Structure 1
Amino acid sequence: MSSLTNLFDNEDRYQDVYCNGFSRIAMKDVVLKEVSQYFDDNVMKKMTDAFPADDQFNLLGVGVGEGHHELHFLKSLGSHFTSIRNVAVEPNQSLFETFKTNAAAWSSDDKSNHDSRWFTGPLSQFFSENPLAKCQYNLISAIHSMYHTGDLETTFTRLMSMLKDNGIKIIVLSECKLIKETFLQNTWLPLSFRVTGKSLSDEIRKVSEQKGYTVSTKKLDITLDLTDLFDEESELGDKLADFITCTAYLRKTASAEKLDALMSFWRSLCSQEEDGRMRTLSHESIMVISK
């Protein structure tokens, strides 16, 4: 299995797999709408109650990807706060460009004083190299990124220490049984060592409450259509297999025996519905942690 490679080590393949694979089945528009509505209904009130409108508002985005969620946050915050510093961290340069372009377009049209700072690289490198890691933030967002930030408690504690008093950290997590069980049952996958049987949202809640932070959570159930995953001729199926296993070109590099076992395992965790499509559930958690 030495030929298997970590998907995150191949930036071009990761972008292709994420944008043209997983994004096609992930109901991203539904999740974005739900998170945006929750932000506007809950987080904005906390922010406007806690901080004066004419103070500089500092926002840190962790693992922002294309930045669709963070752009909505900026637009909502810009409707109230007159000065915003937007700091964004993302290791994938290609995905990052989308957020940069959209944020620049919004900034040029918005009347608030808006300053964006971009850091391309992992969060650990931002912590160690960038002076903006020493700033205090009103709001920190981590949308589908806490899986990749290293030791959970250490990273979470560091981020919370960067919040101002009354600051907020908003986290969105996806916990798909099929993906988690794939790693737990197939330890030959390159990144299987990162996955435990624990619920990440439960771990974050436990650490938060131990440190005296207030946590509120909203749960969403999202249905994933994995039909193409079981089609050997499907290019989308190839990309879904890579995403689920975090392995670049899995179907070309894993043995036939391993692939057959994976396909059988995945079928056991999907339901074939009346239309013939193969579907599974992903549980989304929107978590707001108040300092």
Structure 2
Amino acid sequence: MSGMTLLVSDPDRYHDVYSNGFARIAMKETVLQEISQYFDEHVMTKLTGAFPAEDQFNLLGVGVGEGHHEQHFLKTLGSHFSSIMNVAVDRNEHLLESFKINACGSTPDEKSHRDMQWFNGTLQQFFDESPLANCKYNLISAIYSMHHVGDIETTFTRLASMVKDNGVIIIVLSESTLVEETLLQNTWLPASYGTHEKLTKEKVITFAKQRGYTIDVRKMNIKWDLTDLFEEKSELGDKLVDSLTSVAHFRRTVPAEKLNELISFWRSFCSNGEDGRLYAPADDVIITAST
């Protein structure tokens, strides 16, 4: 269908949709708290037991966005490791710039020296163009970004080759059928997965185990409040529609019958909360792979 623009091709709209739209229903504070607690209690135990505090610690963040999770990782790592090189990769310049500003404005632990490196581009471009792709990392994080990488087997194999012995890969996935099924079942959408299989935790776990990794999985109980999605004149609803379809200004550019089909489709995934709002499960999971 002509006239549709991929959301990632409109950086300003992309930033607006996720910062002022999806962020309002994604329970970011709860997600940040759960991931941070898991990192502090489980991942740090592995890392501090495997690597000397005086060695340089290398952290690679894939699809970091504004870097909220990576900033917590840096703070916790900085309380133990004396030197950290942080490499942040994201295709969205606005989000990466926000990470830069926040990172520069924070006060790291005095015992930790930070070397911050930035790469604005896709993960594949990072692999192809950056000398930092030849480094070995103690920790690689991919928080809600693995569904953007395409071939998960090839990508995971490449990332695994970049991890030091005894290093850790931490991946956070949202298995929400609402997002996945929207792209799987509507092949007319430009970002549609078409005949490709959706990314699931089972697929990631299988690939990781085949490569000799020990896997730990933690499920988060997160629900999205999608009430505004079904309100025709809601500005937040417009942004939610864009985030679910990966199309910029979807309601302005797509025929009404197509929009109505999707509205009915999305409604079938929602349930009524005690507060009268409409909620859909996100099914978010934390996966750690370690050798």
Superposition TM-score, scaled by structure 1 size: 0.97
Give the letter for the 1:209 counterpart. K
Shift of 1:211: 1.3
Larger mean CA deviation between 157-166 and 111-120 belongs to 111-120
* Secondary structure at the counterpart of residue 222 of structure 2: strand
Q: Deviations over 1:25-81 (max 9, x none)?
A: 000000000000000000001000000000000110011000000000000000000
Q: Name the residue aligned to 2:99.
A: 99
* Secondary structure at the counterpart of residue 86 of structure 2: strand
* C-alpha separation in 2, matches of 1:211 and 1:285: 21
* Secondary structure at the counterpart of residue 167 of structure 2: strand
Shift of 1:266: 1.2
Q: Name the residue aligned to 1:270.
A: 270
Q: Name the residue aligned to 1:155.
A: 155
Q: Are 1:214 and 2:214 counterparts?
A: yes
Give the letter for the 2:236 counterpart. L
* C-alpha separation in 2, matches of 1:128 and 1:16: 29
* C-alpha separation in 2, matches of 1:195 and 1:211: 26
Q: Name the residue aligned to 1:290.
A: 290
RMSD: 1.4
* C-alpha separation in 2, matches of 1:236 and 1:261: 19
Give the letter for the 1:172 counterpart. V
Shift of 1:275: 2.9
Structure 1 residues 97 and 194: CA distance shift in structure 2, 3 A: farther
* C-alpha separation in 2, matches of 1:239 and 1:261: 18
Q: Are 1:248 and 2:271 counterparts?
A: no
Q: Name the residue aligned to 2:200.
A: 200
Shift of 1:107: 5.1
Structure 1 residues 59 and 94: CA distance shift in structure 2, 3 A: same
Instruction: Within 5 Å, give how 1:107-126 maps onto structure 2.
Output: 110-126=110-126
**Aligned residues of 1:4 and 1:253 also touching (Cα < 8 A):** yes
Shift of 1:240: 0.1
Shift of 1:150: 2.2
* C-alpha separation in 2, matches of 1:137 and 1:7: 31
Q: Name the residue aligned to 1:34.
A: 34
* C-alpha separation in 2, matches of 1:108 and 1:51: 20
* C-alpha separation in 2, matches of 1:67 and 1:282: 21
Give the letter for the 1:207 counterpart. F
Q: Name the residue aligned to 2:226.
A: 226
* C-alpha separation in 1, matches of 2:267 and 2:39: 36
* C-alpha separation in 2, matches of 1:102 and 1:182: 34
Q: Hey, which bits of structure 1, 4+ residues long, moved more than 6 A? A: none
Structure 2 gap ranges (5+)? none
Structure 1 gap ranges (5+)? none
Give the letter for the 1:256 counterpart. A
Q: Deviations over 1:99-153 (max 9, x none)?
A: 1122223356633111111111111111111111000010000000101112111
Structure 1 residues 274 and 84: CA distance shift in structure 2, 3 A: closer
Q: Name the residue aligned to 1:127.
A: 127
Q: Name the residue aligned to 1:142.
A: 142
Q: Name the residue aligned to 2:49.
A: 49
* C-alpha separation in 2, matches of 1:2 and 1:205: 38
Shift of 1:167: 0.4
Structure 1 residues 208 and 109: CA distance shift in structure 2, 3 A: closer
Shift of 1:197: 4.8
Instruction: Within 5 Å, give how 1:48-87 maps onto structure 2.
Output: 48-87=48-87
Superposition TM-score, scaled by structure 2 size: 0.97
* Secondary structure at the counterpart of residue 285 of structure 1: strand
Shift of 1:219: 0.5
Q: How many residues align?
A: 291
* Secondary structure at the counterpart of residue 65 of structure 2: coil
* C-alpha separation in 2, matches of 1:151 and 1:189: 19
Q: Name the residue aligned to 1:4.
A: 4
